[in-house]
Each structure stands twice: as C-alpha cells, then as structure tokens.
Structure 1
Amino acid sequence: MSEPVWLVWAREIQAIAQTGLTYVQDPFDKERYEMLRNLAAQMMAEGSNVDVQKIENLFSQQSGYATPKLEVRVGVFDAQNRLLMVREVLDSNRWTVPGGWTDVNLTASECAAKEVWEETGYTVQITKLAMALDRARQGHMPPEPFSITKLFFLGEITGGEATTSIETSEVGFFAQENIPQDISTGRITPHEIARLFAHHANPELPTDFD
C-alpha cells in the first residue's frame, strides 16, 4: 500500500527545511526555510485534518540533520511456538508485539530487550535481526509525519513472568492461526507478523530489508 503523494512531498519538504535550518547562516535563507517548514505543515494539515498549529509545533521541535526515526519490535516465542503480544494502551488496547523508539546510549538490540521487559515482564536474549523495514512502504496505518525505520528482532525468554505496564493492558501468547484481529496496524502489520513466524521457524533466513 503506497502512501498519498501529498504526505511524501510534505515529509520531504519538512526534512529539507529542518536540515536547512540546522546549517543556515544567512537570516533571509533562515526565513525561507521557516516558510518551507510551515508549507509542509499546511500540506499535512490539509491532507490529514489535523490542526495546522499542532503540526507546526511538532515540526518546530525537530532539529539537526533530518534522518529517519528508529523503532524496534521483538518477536518472542514460547515453547509451543506461540508469539508474545501485548495490548497497546495508547492504541485503544489493540494488539502488537513489544517495542518502541530506540533510546540514546543503548544499542538497538539493548533497546529491544528493554522494551520487552518493560511491556511484558519477560527478560529476553536477542538472537537475530529479522527485518529492517521502511515503515512507509509496509502499509502501516495511520501514516506518520516523519520517516521511520523499523527493526524487528527475534528474542528468547530467559526469565520473568507476564506483567502488564502503564503502556500495556494485557500480555499473551498466540499461535499463528489465532492471532487477534484487532492488531495495532500503526505498529505491526499481518505480513510482518507472518514474517516473524517464518524467521522463528527458519532462523537461517536472511534478514528482510526495505
């Protein structure tokens, strides 16, 4: 599923403006980059029905060279080959696999293990990078204003017990044929779930990418 062209353009314009504002010296060029940033906000507001001021505030908080944001997700399986999933409080308690944004001073795999612990109560050993995907190309809904790279790892349980958190309202294991219908498609898609099962069944598979 491709994203609407207005979103692709607006995201690109915002990235150009953000990077330009990072390095600009001339005050007139600074003003032009700010105009570009506002134009990107107006395009997103028009296409998404989100208040333009909210988007402008979001964009104004971004600084530095514009790069994709990095998200981690983890496929954890039990002895019955069932996938560990959680209900995401922030998405109307829809189901997803544990994960979130990466943190500074931690590697991607350390962030992945940390997310599993915080959201499920289980400690895990990360064993494989299964997928490295551009979110915009995977059919996630709703779309995001920024570029996001999603890293999907596999992990093996080493301890702990099922425990909910402020982010999750339920923790459970599901066989592939019993995956819940109400999944959090902003975080994971049915295809990505299927690929996690495939990588678990055949750990020698190469990493999926793009």
Structure 2
Amino acid sequence: MADRDNPTRESDQIEPKQWVKWAQTLQAEAQSGLAYATNPFDIERYERLRDLSVEIMNTYTDAGMEKVRTMFANETGYQTPKIDVRGAVVKNGKILLVQEKLNADRWSLPGGWADVGLSLKENIEKEVREEAGLEVKATRLVAIYNWLKSYVDAPFSMYKMVMLCEPVGEGHFVDNAETENVAYFSLGELPPLTRKVSRDLIVRCLSASKDWDHTPYIE
C-alpha cells in the first residue's frame, strides 16, 4: 500500500519507453493533422499537440528540447519512418567499421539516411564509398531493424536496413566530413560502438557473410 504522506502516482510506475512511445504517437498525429488541416482552430490544436509531444520527449530522453523541437518542426506531410542504411564489408572474418568525427571514440558501419532518388543498394554503395573510401557492390540483405523499438529512444520512428557488400576494387580512405578512420575488426576486438549499430547487428553480419542461405532478420 502506498504511503499516505507520499502516495505512489500511477505515472511513476510507467516505464520511460512507454512515455517516449506516446510522444512519438502524438507527434505523428499532430504532423498528419497539420498536413491536412485548413481550419485555423484545428491547426492551433495540432500545434499544441506537437508542443506537448516535444515536452514529453525532452523529459524522457537526453535529446534536448531544442533538438527535439527542430526535428519535429522540420517534419511535414504524413509521418512515415525514416530509413537508415548500412553497408557490411567482411574480409577474412573481420568487419569494416568507420570512426565517426562527431563521436570521436566510437565506431559504426558506414551508412546514413537514405537519399531520395537512389535505390537501397545505390544508397548503401554510396555511403561505403563516401565514408570508407571503398568501391563496393551491395549483394545480400542481412536485416531490417525497427531500430528505435529495440535500441534507441528518439523523436521519430526508424527502419535500419543492412546489406552485405563485396569490394570491387582496393579503394583508398580519404578524410571527409563524417569519418576520420577506417579499419577491420574481429568480433573479439570490437571498439566502442555508436548507438547507430550494436554488437548483435555485427554478429548477424559476420554470420550472414559465411552463410549463403542466410535468411534476413526482419522486425
């Protein structure tokens, strides 16, 4: 029984991830409403819903009020998940990772947001070329993750698509705006990873590289 002088509120028993999920839902409904509403009173209500989703998200994540507000305010039209693409290059049982400039001591699979006008394979090949300096051909799908459901709390929904890639040349790393180093790592010597990838994802990539009958993992 709760202490009468210090009662337990029902909201105190709710997991932060649930609040984040509610905030994402509020944001999606508000954004869709703003995309189609013409009545100024309806627009005002949807804007208030979006403001409320920002407040909730800021309370239960470390994203920061202004960052959350900027991401929400820049979203227009009917809300759909963002697409993050990653390329996995495996050589002699080791996987290629890039060191990010924004996360100086953290490493990731080369990749980023998918660009409009390019196919999934073209997006991944471009990211590997730009971030790792390696010309590759994306060959096989490893996994499609509902990333924010399992790994990261953020203001939006995101699908992460990972493909195995085969080098089509030696390549040469060139310092760029996003990455400052590139190297191959075995599973037992993985460096600190960014939140954009996980050890589980790396394991799947290494396993798939040895199994031509690999069935893609899809959440």
- TM value normalised by structure 2: 0.88
Aligned positions of 1:138-157 closer than 5 A: 138-140=150-152, 143-157=153-167
Q: Residue 203 in 1 paired to residue 212 in 2?
A: yes
Corresponding letter in the other structure for 2:114: T
Q: CA deviation at 1:58?
A: 2.5
The 8 Å contact of residues 163 and 171 in structure 1, kept in 2 or not, is answered as no
TM-score (norm 1): 0.91
Counterpart in 2 of 1:69?
82
User: Where does residue 24 of structure 1 map in the other structure?
Assistant: 37
Q: Does 1:129 align with 2:141?
A: yes
Contact 2:141–2:162, Cα closer than 8 Å, also in 1: yes
In the alignment, structure 1 residue 34 sits paired with structure 2 residue 47: yes
1:107 corresponds in structure 2 to 119
1:50 offset after TM fit, Å? 5.0
Say if 1:50 and 1:192 are closer, same or farther in 2 by CA, change over 3 A. closer
CA positional deviation for 1:48: 2.8
* Greater C-alpha radius of gyration: 2
Deviation of residue 164 (structure 1)? 3.5
Counting aligned pairs with the same residue, the percent is 34
Whole-Å Cα distance in 2 between the matches of residues 27 and 75 of structure 1?
A: 49
**Hey, what's the Cα distance between the residues in 1 that align with 2:157 and 2:21?**
9
**Unpaired stretches in structure 1, ≥5 consecutive residues:** none
Deviation of the 1:81 alpha carbon: 2.4
CA distance in 1: counterparts of 2:164 and 2:137, whole angstroms:
9
Unaligned runs of 5+ in 2: 1-14
Task: State the partner residue of 1:158.
Answer: 168
Q: Indicate the larger mover: 108-117 or 51-60.
A: 51-60
Residue 93 of structure 2 contacts residue 186 of structure 2 at CA under 8 Å; is this kept in 1? yes
Aligned equivalent of 1:194: 203
Q: How far off its partner does 1:189 sit? A: 0.5
Pick which of 148-157 and 3-12 moved more: 3-12
Aligned length: 204
Residue 96 (structure 2) pairs with residue 87 (structure 1):
no
Distance 2:190 2:62 in 1: 32
Q: Secondary structure at the match of 1:100?
A: strand
